[in-house]
Amino acid sequence: MWFPFWLWLVPLVLLLSVRCGSRRSYRERRWEGTHAGGLQRTVDAQREYIEQLEARLSRVEEGLEFAERLLAQRGAAAH
């Protein structure tokens, strides 16, 4: 009684495992070529823009610290 059950169950499990693997690779290839590629370019552009803003902000902070030191020296010299 169990023997006929195994005759169709084992090939079915093998077939389903092969199909799932091919579906996964198809999805990965499909997303790399279309939507995900555009998203990756957008993310890269945003990261580059953020890095530029961080560099500008650090220059502004350095200038502000310099101005504060200069004002502190002038205030100390006036007293």
| Structure confidence by residue, pLDDT tens digits, 22-78 | 666 666 665 555 667 788 889 999 999 999 999 999 999 999 999 999 999 998 887
Query: Bigger pLDDT: 4 or 32?
Result: 4
Do both 5 and 28 map to the same domain?
A: yes
Average pLDDT for residues 9-16, to the nearest whole number? 76
Do both 2 and 27 map to the same domain?
A: yes
Domain count along the chain: 2
Q: What is the pLDDT of residue 33?
A: 58
Do both 24 and 51 map to the same domain?
A: no
Q: How far apart are CA 2 and CA 8, in angstroms?
A: 11
Do both 45 and 79 map to the same domain?
A: yes
Q: What is the pLDDT of residue 56?
A: 97
Do both 51 and 79 map to the same domain?
A: yes
Q: How far apart are CA 39 and CA 32, in angstroms?
A: 10
Q: Identify the domain containing residue 28 by its residue range.
A: 1-33
Whether 13 shows a pLDDT value over 90: the answer reads no
